Structure 1
């Protein structure tokens, strides 16, 4: 836990509107503005702990000030038929709650490390126009996001580029100020990092003849930063709420014939290099004109682009492979061009990364019309209509694990090799349930995703004697190559000094 944190203190007004009156916007809020000038200095907090709760409570003078503020505001609102409930509970900041008593001392030690006297001021800016970062030190701006920044940034900047923190992703970097506007609106409980205090896992034996081995559990990463297109969501270890959990359908029970002698091998592979990962999300604006005509601007861009339903902007969320990405796939390919493709939405990546909406995918029929060998008779185990957009990381593991289990059950009679082509996380989530292991915490999962190369693959094999799955050697070598920087050349001059 860092020594300095941003502390949010919120006073929630529960309003029951009566007759509308526009004067409320000026009279009541102007009163608050005047009363804020009488604030008794910096916020003073005291630590408090009891049973399974650790938090900070306002000291007497601050508590009195805020309760009076609510009372004065309520009296002003009452003139216009609006009832404001008085403060009934001590105003506080919760640091930890609903945890096992065995963790109390460790949590208290971390809480004591917070500097309660640290200064904390910020300006909240609403994103009003999308901006796609073109450099590593730039921040992607997404409609619906908010950016927190030091209020002194405008005075320090000479070109209207400010340094801020994205509310959606927690990423800190530079962003163009004119693409945002100042706002007083803010939100609470935006989780940008979580720390698992205790991690337990019972290793499963790996079947390899008569020998057994254990898979080591990776240590949680020290850094809380994240670079893998993530939209962070609160996980169950952060706050427990009584929310109905949507249950995934139970997979069919597997029954193995006694005389089956061919084991099954499941190979899970990541896709090749993608256009948006290499050229950024602004590649669509760079390559398409207003009429939707495609024109590549780099040799690593495909020569042509299939037409799709809707506009060409659908490619922003559903990007194709680069030229190099297609070459990677060709080198890694297994020479099975005649094997039909089954389009299975159940292996799509974590829905927590798509809170702003899913891509509009090509349909199997559209893919077939573009020359892909798609089996149109295939019925997916998890259609898109069954997606749970509130899916947490455990739900992602469960959905992917049950989908891959159903896939291998489908091929239990003939055995042999099965290939799942998905995303970086697919190598983990499509095999972990079959290996009889529990889901990893989201930070460990994200760390693994960042380490999976393009067209990287993982193989697990069934042991006929124990009917268990274990890690095996990848049937195809990984492809390693250097990164080639883009060259922008406006003038070429050679000096005789070089010869």
Structure 2
């Protein structure tokens, strides 16, 4: 996280925690292609687009990886490893121990994010919370030049495909947009991330009207957002009203580790956002 973000932690706020809305922004767990290398697809699926069922039982794959008629699409949408899935469950348990339990969950459409979100919710004992798949949570498109090779083909699975494999996907959720400009740069990513943040705050924050000093919030809502390295940086920048700098986003995102979490809470009195100093 950008060191400047830490300055936003108010000591008085730290003692009171009078929040009405909490966001837990999390990077996904370790990618299988970063562990096995660029030829991971050949190692796991044998280079066969219509891989047999036993290929999905590879020990490095997550326990429940949705089957695809064309497994080549996983080259553009790599999942996490089984170890990463286990670590995501531990992260959920860790969050649970400090009282951070998700009431709602949003995820990037990338398989690495959805599988991570599912495991974190499991660790929280919150598997009943459906995952809202939001395309606008995907990382900057200019960081994914390989996707240009697909032209109009969507590399991500549908909610129905995930549900068939047992994932609790919210089918009633209306996505902000299914299309992201393939020529988008970091500034375009900032614009759509701002859109997501504003919609989430408006939708969930309006439930909790501003309270007067001395009163306690009538409702506290915790939202888990699982995305990418850029997600933790971008949402912090937006919530804390920091100036956006594309180069800084690139530099800081490169330092974000797997399953890194940033916890933001909105003060119930002022509706200003602060970083919650969880020891995660």
Give the TM-score of the pair, scaled to structure 1: 0.41
1:304 and 1:352, CA in 2 relative to 1: closer, same or farther beyond 3 A?
Answer: same
Structure 1 residue corresponding to 2:135, chosen from 345, 352, 356: 345
Structure 1 spans left out of the alignment, 5+ residues: 1-201, 213-260, 478-499
* Matches of 2:188 and 2:7, distance apart in 1: 25
Measured in 2, the distance between the counterparts of 1:203 and 1:302 equals 34
Q: How far is 1:322 from its partner?
A: 0.6
Higher relative contact order (CA 8 A, sep 6+): 2
2:170 corresponds in structure 1 to: 375
Query: How far apart in 2 are the matches of 1:268 and 1:357?
Result: 25
> For residue 279 of structure 1, what is the aligned residue in structure 2?
36
Distance in 1, matches of 2:22 and 2:172, equals 24
Instruction: Give the number of aligned pairs.
Output: 223
The SS at the match of 1:362 is coil
Matched ranges for 1:69-218 at <5 A = 206=8, 208=10, 210=12
The yes-or-no answer on 1:264 pairing with 2:24 is no
Q: Distance in 2 between matches of 1:403 and 1:303?
A: 30
8 A contact 1:405–1:434 mirrored in 2: no
| Superposed CA RMSD | 2.7
Partner of 1:307: 67
Aligned to 1:330: 89
- Does the 8 Å CA contact 1:401/1:431 hold for their aligned counterparts? no
Partner of 2:269: 465
* 1:284 alignment partner, SS class: helix
Deviation, structure 1 residue 447? 2.2
User: Which residue pairs with 2:147 in the alignment?
Assistant: 357
Higher helix proportion (structure 1 or 2)? 2
Residues 304 and 339 (structure 1), Cα distance of their counterparts in 2 relative to 1, 3 Å cut = closer
> Does residue 451 of the first structure (1) align with residue 255 of the second (2)?
yes
In 2, Cα distance between the equivalents of 1:419 and 1:343? Answer: 12
User: Is 1:423 aligned with 2:228?
Assistant: yes
* Structure 2 SS opposite 1:361: coil
Is the contact between residue 44 and residue 58 of structure 2 (CA under 8 Å) also seen in structure 1?
Answer: no
Query: Structure 2, unaligned stretches of length 5 or more?
Result: 93-123, 149-153, 209-219
Aligned to 1:56: none
Q: Secondary structure at the match of 2:199?
A: helix
Q: Secondary structure at the residue paired with 1:466? A: coil
Paired with 1:203 and 1:434, the residues of 2 have a C-alpha distance of: 10
Distance 2:246 2:232 in 1: 16
Q: Is the 8 A contact 1:329 1:455 kept in 2?
A: yes
SS in 2 for 1:432: helix
**8 Å contact kept, 1:269–1:458:** yes
- CA deviation after TM superposition for structure 1 residue 463, in Å: 1.6
